Structure 1
Amino acid sequence: MTHASSPSASPPAADQAIVIGAGIGGLASAMRLGAKGYQVTVIDRLDRAGGRGSSITQGGHRFDLGPTIVTVPQGLRDLWAACGRNFDADVRLVPMDPFYEIRFADGETFTARQDDAAIKAEVARISPSDSKGYQRFLKDSEARYWFGYEDMGRKPMHKLWDTLKVIPKFARMRADRSVYAHAASRVKDEHLRFALSFHPLFIGGDPFNVTSMYILVSHLEKAFGVHYAMGGVQAIADAMVRVIEAQGGSVVQGAEVDEITIADGRASGVRLASGDVLPAAVVVSNADAGHTYDRLLRNAPKKRWTPARLKRARWSMGLYVWYFGTKGTKGMWGDVGHHSIVVGPRYRDHIKDIFIRGKLADDMSLYVHRPSVTDPSCAPAGDDTFYVLSPVPHLGHDNAVDWTAEEEPYRAKMLKVLEDRLLPGVSGRIGESLTFTPETFRDRYLSPFGAGFSIEPRILQSAWFRPHNISEELPGLYLAGAGTHPGAGLPGVVGTAELLGKLVPDARRRAETAAEHALRLAAE
């Protein structure tokens, strides 16, 4: 891993490629390009690879900043295999059992597991009359997985016809329904309705408005399980960097791309904030699609992704995340596992506050990550590391939340919820502490409106309606990451790189220099 140098501008070689952003989607894209024969340079403004999947270590605690679970390991194994490598030799995945526990405000709980008998018993315990409806929901989820994930999700969707021809199947599958509406059509108990419908929040979607195609996540969990990467997602990012470097590529940290350069009507490289210009035959932007079109292509004419169009788009919610370490708590809170979800007293109305009204509510629902129960490397001996996430409005609403004023009061409210409902006595045990607000996401990740997951995955913002993997604005430019097809989440951003592998032509090799020729002959 290197830091920015000062290269001089020169015409790009046919096998030179640049990837903007060392997030998981960008690193996966670099691996795919390397496998296709490109000499790849990844440029990132942060000091650690991984983007939102990176980490910060503070006082002996490793805080995993973004994604915490792996739901489709095969996507990563396929990526490594495309590079002639073995993922499991580089990263250790641990299956979670249970996946997570949901704690409701009325005291009810729901424990999600992969085992058929265990999950059937859990549903029957909560609402025996919903057992058959739950099984129907799982069948619905599997059907949408094969259509939405394995079929549409693994195909480039930049041609309108590819979307138009599947509309009849969308209609048959009731894609017009929301995820919540579909869950409500199968089960009557509100606890189960929540358990079957909250998943879109993990990819930035409103469960009451996102298309029911996203119930496929329930099948992903059931079929592939939920896993944790030892060392956190940072370990995956670091392993990706090693593959890229083994391919002859490089990851440059501490350098910000200011603009995508254009020559002869196509992308020709990038200009850094320092003023340096790096040429490339292929440019992949793993920056947010909104930032790519609004900032990096600010001087280029655009037909579709204009500033006005981006402003009208519906963006995913913001995130308030509190990372903290606790002292001497290894034996405490024995009923609190690796993943917990603490549900507030409201569901529908709270979601409306977040996505529609743009209002910061006093109540909250929390996702609590306690990796130290699985991975001792993330905390000092005897201590624990926590990550607590609350969905909040993004910064694009009228009367946007002023997080300079609200950050500390909101953390105090979050602490009270944790004390009352999950971690009694925690306030006296907290040591290291760090908070991220939507303003952090805006400034650290250059995310429009501080959105946590780019453009919200509503039906008219998915597939062809989403920014395309092959740019419709500039030849030679490709997009990866959460803001493009198939969407957010670890499987989604890794999937964007798989699509790039199908869209980007194989590299045309530059001529071998005399010195390289001599070295290759000596090696042979």
Structure 2
Amino acid sequence: MTRLDPNLATPDDFNARPVAVVIGAGLGGLSAAMRLGAKGYRVEVVDRLDMPGGRGSSISMNGHRFDLGPTIVTVPQVFRELWAACGRDFDTDVDLRPMLPYYEIRWPDGSSFKASGSTEEMMAEVKRLSPSDAKGYEKFLKDSEARYAFGFEDLGRRPMHKLWDLIKVLPKFGMLRADRSVYAHAAKRVKDERLRMALSFHPLFIGGDPFHVTSMYILVSHLEKEYGVHYAMGGVAAIAKAMQGVIEDQGGTCTYGQEVSEILVKNERAAGVKLVSGRIIPADIVVSNADAGHTYKHLLKRKKKRWTDKKLDNSRWSMGLFVWYFGTKGTRDQWGDVGHHTILNGPRYKGLLDDIFLKGKLADDMSLYVHRPSVTDPSVAPEGDDTFYVLSPVPHLGHDNGVDWEIERDRYRDKVTKVLEEQLLPGFADKITASEIFTPLEFRDRYLSPNGSGFSIEPRILQSAWFRPHNVSEELPGLYLVGAGTHPGAGLPGVVSTAEVLDKMIPSALKVPAE
């Protein structure tokens, strides 16, 4: 049974509240709905999928449950603060488990690196690979901490829609050498190419090219070390379901299987949405968790001042993703050296990323992220079986002479199979009992992602902060944006923080009692 907010005295009082409609039940949209519900708004979330979570939703097949998108939970305090803002306890609703080690990185020469939160253990790993880089690694840690304090805790958690907000921080950007790339900064501190990769690959988890994304993103190294890497039992989809529960307890509703076709405008303000079904939902404010590119190109059907079709077409978009979800029979006790998170490096680093981001070329070699949640969460697979998620960064669909995934899907799967058989999971192909593949085509069609990109607009320096689509729309009063395509950006902490930024812009709908 739905529970009304305790600040709302009667159902009639609740029905008099301003209405907010949220387009999209991704983690950003659900976070926004929770914060708006806590402010007293009557909230309706609308999503074209059949469940909450967006890219963080799941599918089930032959007894296997597959997380479709994010698998790593970092900075759990952003979730705890979100729940606290709603008068709830996150840890009561979600079972979060720390990962130790965080992940293992493997190289073709047989060497490896295990990441953890212990400075001593990390230093031992650095010295094992390259003793002469120990002092440089210490400096890198200090660099990372400074950029975390400024880039995440400061800029990432406050509005950046005014040009003056950007101008004020330019000296700090200069001092922290934001003009330098993540890889260039790592290369300045350590000499071993394996360590340079281990300290610079993180932007790939938010759709950025480490050789071109600003060095501000080395903050992720501190973020991981300080707050850990976690897994939510039941997957990220379990977090999404818990978020829906909070929204409904606040009196809000979540409507699934319904797609928004248009953002309505009245008196030069956002006035609600129209669904493909024809239903109209009037609203006092509209929050779009749809990709910013889709929002401005397809949902806001009026002339744009800044985010024109041409500007969006000329923007740099994050890479695409080839993701293979598969289950294996009777393998839970096999491959004992393969943990929850493994990164398999190909023979090239910069060359491969140039093919993906700049040339739009589907290379024969690859680097893979392998997720094996069944070693932590038995519920993802039948007893004794395994569930896997293998991800390969690939070009998005917007390049000239782009990849034809109707032709390449099976060919590329066969190449991935060869790498896994030789380097990580010998014999796995004969034991597959469930299989599903997402290419950039699925990201385009399932999530309405421009160019089938995995993480919206690439977070380069001139596509971040003020340069990114603003949380408060510069195109239409009453329209707000959350999610990966707006400030501060992609990744679970980023999309949840977009709602925190939103919270600081929208006034409370609750009546203040007279003294």
* TM-score, shorter chain, exceeding 0.5: yes
Residue 509 of structure 1 and its aligned partner are, at CA, apart by 6.2
Query: What is the 5 A alignment of 1:325-340?
Result: 325-340=327-342
> Within 5 Å, which residues of 2 pair with 1:234-273?
234-273=237-276
Q: What SS is found at the alignment partner of 1:452? A: coil
- Equivalent residue number for residue 147 of structure 1: 150
The aligned amino acid for 2:334 is: M
The root-mean-square deviation of aligned C-alpha atoms, in Å, is 1.3
Instruction: Identify which of 43, 55, 59 aligns with 1:40.
Output: 43
Indicate if the aligned counterparts of 1:317 and 1:453 stay in contact, CA closer than 8 A. yes
**Partner AA of 2:390 in structure 1:** V
* Kept after mapping to 2: 8 A contact 1:13/1:281: no
**Residue 307 (structure 1) aligned with residue 309 (structure 2):** yes
Separation (CA, whole Å) in 1 of partners of 2:63 and 2:166: 49
Partner deviation per Cα, 1:175-220 (whole Å, 9 max, x = no partner): 1000000000000000100000000000000000000000000000
Task: Give the Cα separation in 2 of the matches to 1:147 and 1:229.
Answer: 28
> By how many angstroms is 1:505 displaced?
1.2
User: 1:388 corresponds to which residue?
Assistant: 390
Post-superposition shift, 1:281? Answer: 0.2
CA distance in 1, matches of 2:167, 2:17: 35
Aligned to 1:211: 214
Q: Aligned with 1:484: secondary structure?
A: coil
Partner of 1:488: 490
Shift of 1:428: 1.0
Counterpart in the other structure of 1:479: 481
Cα deviation digits, residues 441-473 of structure 1 (max 9, x gap): 000000000000000000000000000000000
Corresponding residue SS for 1:166? helix
Map of 1:522 onto structure 2: none
Tell me what 1:67 maps to: 70
Q: Is the 8 A contact 1:15 1:508 kept in 2?
A: no
2:270 aligned counterpart, secondary structure: strand
Contact 2:17 2:42 in 1 (8 A): no
Instruction: Tell me which amino acid in the other structure corresponds to 1:66.
Output: G
- Structure 2: gaps (5+ residues): 3-14
Paired position in structure 2 for 1:515: none
Partners of 1:116 and 1:466 in 2: CA distance: 35
Q: CA deviation at 1:14?
A: 5.3
Residue identity matched to 1:78: E
Match of 2:433 in 1: 431
Q: Counterparts of 1:313 and 1:185 in 2: how far apart (Å)? A: 29
Cα deviation, residue 508, structure 1: 5.8
After the TM superposition, which residues 75-224 of structure 1 pair with which residues of structure 2 at under 5 Å, given as runs? 75-224=78-227
Identical amino acids, percent of aligned pairs = 71
Contact 2:369 2:392 in 1 (8 A): yes
- 1:108: Cα distance to partner? 1.0
One-letter code aligned to 1:501: D
Aligned counterparts of 1:435 and 1:135: Cα–Cα separation in 2:
41
Partner-residue secondary structure (3-state), 2:79: helix
What secondary structure does 2:364 align onto? Answer: coil
Q: How far did 1:377 drift? A: 0.4
1:15–1:509 contact (8 Å) kept in structure 2: no
Count of residue pairs the alignment pairs up? 500
Q: Is contact 1:14–1:509 with CA below 8 Å preserved after alignment?
A: no
Q: CA offsets, 1:379-419, max 9 Å, x none?
A: 00000000000000000000010000000000000000000
User: 445, 458, 469: which is aligned to 1:443?
Assistant: 445
> SS where residue 380 of structure 1 aligns?
coil
Match of 1:281 in 2: 284
Q: How far apart in 1 are the matches of 2:247 and 2:166? A: 34
Q: Distance in 1 between matches of 2:206 and 2:151?
A: 15
Deviation at 1:29, TM superposition (A): 0.4
Q: Distance in 1 between matches of 2:348 and 2:143?
A: 27
Which residue of structure 1 aligns with residue 12 of structure 2?
A: none
Partner of 2:55: 52
Name 1:506's counterpart in structure 2: 508
Output the CA distance in 2 between the equivalents of 1:160 and 1:33.
Answer: 26
Aligned to 2:463: 461
Return the letter of the residue paired with 1:315: W
- Give the superposition deviation at 1:47: 0.5
Q: Unaligned regions of 5+ residues in structure 1, if any?
A: 3-11, 511-524
Partner SS, residue 387 of structure 2: strand
4+ aligned runs moved over 6 Å, structure 1: none
TM-score (norm 1): 0.94
Aligned to 1:18, the other structure's residue is in SS state: strand
Give the 5 Å matches for 1:341-380.
341-380=343-382
The amino acid of 1:416's aligned partner reads K
SS where residue 293 of structure 1 aligns? helix
Choose which of 26, 30, 36 in structure 1 pairs with 2:29.
26
User: Could you give the per-residue CA deviations for residues 144-198 of structure 1, whole angstroms, max 9, x where no partner exists?
Assistant: 0000001111110000011111111111111100000000000000010000000
- Counterparts of 2:454 and 2:152, CA distance in 1: 22
SS in 1 for 2:188: helix
Cα separation, 1, equivalents of 2:37 and 2:18: 10
Q: 2 CA distance for matches of 1:403 and 1:455?
A: 21
- Decide whether the 8 Å contact of 1:31 with 1:243 is kept in 2: yes
Distance 1:13 1:480 in 2: 26
Under a length normalisation based on structure 2, what TM-score does the superposition of the two structures give?
A: 0.96
Render the CA deviation track for 1:339-391: whole Å, top value 9, x for unaligned. Answer: 00000000000000000000000000000000000000000000000000000
- Asked if 1 retains the 8 angstrom alpha-carbon contact of 2:55 and 2:68, the reply is yes
Q: Which amino acid aligns with 2:211?
A: F
Whole-angstrom CA distance in 1 between matches of 2:278 and 2:511:
28
**What is the SS of the residue equivalent to 2:128?**
helix
Task: Give the match for residue 419 of structure 1.
Answer: 421
Contact map agreement 2:39 2:510 (CA 8 A) in 1: no
- How far did residue 13 of structure 1 move? 6.1
**Counterpart residue identity of residue 406, structure 1:** E
Distance 1:143 1:24 in 2: 27
Aligned to 1:520: none
Look up the equivalent residue of 2:494 and give its one-letter code.
Answer: G
Query: Which residue of the other structure, out of 15, 20, 35, is the alignment partner of 2:18?
Result: 15
Asked whether the equivalents of residues 326 and 387 of structure 2 are also in contact (C-alpha less than 8 Å), the reply is yes
Aligned amino acid, residue 328 of structure 2: T
